[in-house]
Amino acid sequence: MGTTMANQAGAAGHAALAICESLLLSLTENKLLAVDEARAILEEAAAANRNAAPRSADGAQHAAAAGVIELILAGRNSVRFG
């Protein structure tokens, strides 16, 4: 993948993360989604990426995505789940 395409893919990933974080925060803060449900969504997303990593040509990307989601769950990212 060329540098420009890689930069665009990285930017798209950052944008998607920011949008998803904002949606989960809004849904939980407005009591439209319970915090435990939001955590379950993130846990399922992390597990899906962890499980896909060994079977995928881009396994390192899946593993990295799982790691980012796990940081969010641990409270070391911008999403505030209690």
Helix and strand numbers (H, E) in the chain are 3, 0
Average pLDDT, 10 consecutive residues per value, the chain (82 residues):
75 89 93 94 95 86 91 74 52
Amino acid 77: pLDDT: 61
Q: What sign has the CA pseudo-torsion 71, 47, 44, 9?
A: positive
Which residues are within 8 A (CB) of 43 and not within 5 positions of it... i.e. 6 or more apart?
A: 73
Which residues are within 8 A (CB) of 62 and not within 5 positions of it... i.e. 6 or more apart?
A: 49, 50, 52, 53, 56
Amino acid 81: pLDDT: 55
**For the whole model, what pTM was predicted?**
0.78
